[in-house]
């Protein structure tokens, strides 16, 4: 009886859909950033990109990363090669490839971070492991970029928005 219960449990776990992030297209995602006043991450990817798949599997499916993204961020995903969406930003319209190239995307994956007012913060190329990505999410959520605190200083100071050599290291 116990064995059949365990087998049944594994079968249900295998067929139930895995928890997923709510990836949005650009226009819906940007509207959500503005209306909910939440920062966003924009994942530029392609279907053929090996490291995009690794990023999806290892980083975006990490339980801690998923929880932080769901709670504190708007998640946007753009495939510049296949998306048919006309991207509207800053009073202009772009094709997805034009938009990604205008932001400086030169390879995939590439992640752009946007503040809660809809302004771009930075673009990071390549695969980012979950541990580093969690720190980046905290850095953006804490608004350290707006306080001119480098990500290196943020990490060196144990996740506090303090510049290196600052007299107020212990203060938020």
Provide the pLDDT for residue 163: 78
pTM reported for the whole predicted model: 0.82
Q: How many residues does the chain have?
A: 172
Provide the pLDDT for residue 20: 85
Long-range CB contacts (< 8 A, 24+ apart) of 102-108? 103/44, 105/44, 105/80, 108/44, 108/45, 108/46, 108/49, 108/51, 108/52
User: Domain map of the chain by residue range?
Assistant: 20-141, 143-172
Chunked mean pLDDT (size 10), the chain, 172 residues: 44 48 95 96 97 97 97 97 95 96 96 96 96 96 93 90 64 44
CATH 3.40.30.10 fits 20-141, yes or no: yes
Q: What are the helix and strand counts (H, E) for the chain?
A: 7, 6
Residue 55 is classified by DSSP as I
Provide the pLDDT for residue 1: 52
């Amino acid at each position: 009886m116990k064995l059949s219960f365990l087998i049944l449990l594994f079968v249900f776990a295998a067929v139930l859909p895995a928890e997923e992030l709510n990836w949005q297209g650009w226009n819906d995602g940007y509207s959500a950033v503005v209306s909910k006043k939440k920062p966003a991450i924009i994942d530029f990817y392609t279907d053929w990109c090996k490291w995009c798949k690794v990023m999806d599997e290892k980083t975006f499916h990490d339980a801690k990363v998923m929880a932080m993204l769901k709670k504190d961020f708007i998640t946007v995903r753009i495939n510049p090669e296949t998306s048919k969406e006309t991207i509207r930003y800053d009073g202009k319209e772009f094709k997805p490839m034009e938009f990604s190239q205008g932001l400086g995307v030169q390879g995939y994956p590439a992640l752009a971070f946007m503040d809660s007012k809809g302004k771009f913060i930075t673009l990071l190329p390549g695969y980012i492991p979950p541990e580093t990505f969690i720190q980046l999410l905290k850095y953006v959520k804490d608004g350290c970029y707006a306080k001119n605190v480098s990500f290196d200083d943020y990490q060196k100071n144990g996740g506090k928005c303090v510049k290196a050599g600052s007299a107020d290291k212990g203060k938020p």
